[in-house]
Amino acid sequence: MSKILVIGAGGVGSVAVHKMAMNPDIFSHISLASRTKSKCDAIAASVKERTGVVIDTYGLDADDVAATTALLNQIKPSLVVNLALPYQDLNIMDACLAAGVHYMDTANYEPLDVAKFEYHWQWAYQDRYKDAGLMALLGSGFDPGVTSVFAMWLKKHKLKTIRQLDILDCNGGDHGQHFATNFNPEINIREVTAECRHFENGSFVETPPLSLHQSFTCPDEVGTYEIYRMYHEELESLAINIKGLKRIRFFMTFSENYLTHLRVLENVGMTRIDEVEFNGQKIVPLQFLKALLPDPASLGPRTKGKTWIGCQVTGLKDGKQKTVTIYNTCDHQACYQEVQSQAISYTTGVPAFIGAKMILEKKWTGDGVFNMEQMDPDPFMDDLQKYGLPWKIIEGPVVQL
């Protein structure tokens, strides 16, 4: 029985809070905070209607360390689940240290003024969290998160060593919009337009964004799509924590329609993240574009199709090379029926709920800052099967990359 504070009232926060409320034996008291309290109130109303659980809501500027610390001292939660913007990670980590509360998030810190997806800012908190006797768990989403746990479960149960790891993320959903992103538009577009990096033979190699791609037919009749190589933050931690790894890459599917719109927006400067002057005031073009695009949380009722996310892993077993693929398939409409959110939010919100559950149940413990692959994969994998993200295994590759 534990108190928990969730910060962030977007689609992922909504899924996580709904799932927590469905398990009151573990989450005895749930508080939800966001800059926009009305969003928290809407989630609270949905949670009460669907589960009967009452959650507390608060308006909070998570950039304000003193205000966040004061709220933590007021609520006295066992854990903060940070589902806010990645720009706010360090401020929330500072507040957790000040109040003596464990910390967890789903995405690594990045500065506002440059699209840098790196863990070093958060890893620098290792000694402070260790000395305080607190745990900070980073990246408990799907990718990063589940994909890291997938890899370590395979290493524990199927392969003695991992030599090559390809993370494959396919969204076969159709929301009927001309152009929309399935999660926060600002973060999504920063990710997609960033320089690609992949790990090979002991170092990271940079290539232009989305410069390598090919056709990929997803299992489970999800569909056939173009899959593009890009950078994702879990590559950085997995390259360190999987000993003997020779190559790790991340691939994601995009429609030609999405990429055409993105190229036009990029060409006219709408994806810029630096300030420009307009009518006597400073604006960031990408933030203005975000305000014009559909809220990802609004796409749930109209999104149909499935997501397919997994790891294709090659390593050694009994001295012989072997490839194993492990994955989850998730249906957008089934997710909406359960928690009023589409599958992109669901596949991040459920792992956030399970990661919090691991900490509260003390199945995952430790003092310091940890990435998902440093934890025992077995209890997390068991809960994926139990709470809505069942996984399957294919003995062999699903695509030649």
Q: Tell me what percent of the residues of the chain surpass a pLDDT of 70.
A: 99
Contact 231, 195 (CB under 8 A): yes
What is the pLDDT, as a whole number, of residue 153?
98
For the chain, how are helix, strand and coil distributed in percent, rounded to 5?
40, 30, 30
Residue 273 pLDDT class (50, 70, 90 cuts): confident
SS3 330: strand
Amino acid letter for position 296: P
SS3 67: helix
Residue 346: enclosing H or E segment and its boundaries? helix 343-360
Mode of pairing for the β-strands spanning 320-331 and 102-105 = unpaired
Please determine, for residue 126, whether its predicted confidence score (pLDDT) is greater than 90.
Answer: yes
DSSP for 221-240, please give it.
Answer: TTEEEEEEEE--THHHHHHH
Burial 192-231 (b: 16+ CB within 10 A, else e): bbbebbbbeeeeeeeeebbeebeebebeeebbebbbbbbb
Please determine, for residue 187, whether its predicted confidence score (pLDDT) is greater than 80.
Answer: no
How far apart are the C-alpha atoms of 144 and 237, rounded to whole Å? 10
Residue 33: enclosing H or E segment and its boundaries? strand 27-34
Two tokens at 209? 């964004």
Mean of pLDDT values over 61-69: 97
How far apart are the C-alpha atoms of 305 and 315, rounded to whole Å? 32
Q: Please state the domain extents for the chain.
A: 2-138, 146-340+391-395
Mode of pairing for the β-strands spanning 27-34 and 56-59 = parallel
Please determine, for residue 182, whether its predicted confidence score (pLDDT) is greater than 70.
Answer: no
- CATH assignment of 2-138, among 3.40.30.10, 3.40.50.720, 3.40.640.10, 3.40.50.2000: 3.40.50.720
Residue 80: enclosing H or E segment and its boundaries? strand 79-82
Question: pLDDT tens digit string along 22-43?
Answer: 999 999 999 999 999 999 999 9
Contact 21, 53 (CB under 8 A): yes
The better pLDDT of the pair 256, 166 is held by 166
Amino acid letter for position 267: N
What is the pLDDT, as a whole number, of residue 166?
97
How far apart are the C-alpha atoms of 194 and 286, rounded to whole Å? 14
Phi-psi sector, 103: left (phi>0), alpha (psi -120 to 50), beta: beta
Mean of pLDDT values over 266-293: 88
Residue 50 pLDDT class (50, 70, 90 cuts): very high
Mean of pLDDT values over 204-228: 93
How far apart are the C-alpha atoms of 232 and 218, rounded to whole Å? 20
Angle at 223 between CA 217 and CA 225, to 5 degrees: 60
Please determine, for residue 278, whether its predicted confidence score (pLDDT) is greater than 80.
Answer: yes
Q: Which of 175, 151, 179, 185 is nearest to 165 (CA)?
A: 151
Please determine, for residue 142, whether its predicted confidence score (pLDDT) is greater than 60.
Answer: yes
Whether the model clears a pTM of 0.85, i.e. scores above it, the answer is yes
Least confident of 125-134, 205-214, 283-292: 283-292
Residue 199: enclosing H or E segment and its boundaries? strand 196-200
What is the pLDDT, as a whole number, of residue 112?
75
- The helices-and-strands tally (H runs, E runs) of the chain is 14, 18
Amino acid letter for position 319: G
What is the pLDDT, as a whole number, of residue 183?
67
Residue 231 pLDDT class (50, 70, 90 cuts): very high
How far apart are the C-alpha atoms of 255 and 228, rounded to whole Å? 10
Residue 320: enclosing H or E segment and its boundaries? strand 320-331
Please determine, for residue 159, whether its predicted confidence score (pLDDT) is greater than 90.
Answer: yes
Please determine, for residue 300, whether its predicted confidence score (pLDDT) is greater than 80.
Answer: no
SS3 127: helix
User: What is the CATH T-level fold of the domain 146-340+391-395, as seen in this structure?
Assistant: Dihydrodipicolinate Reductase; domain 2 (3.30.360)
Hey, which of 180-194, 215-229, 260-274, 349-363 has the most confident mean pLDDT?
A: 349-363
Residue 28: enclosing H or E segment and its boundaries? strand 27-34
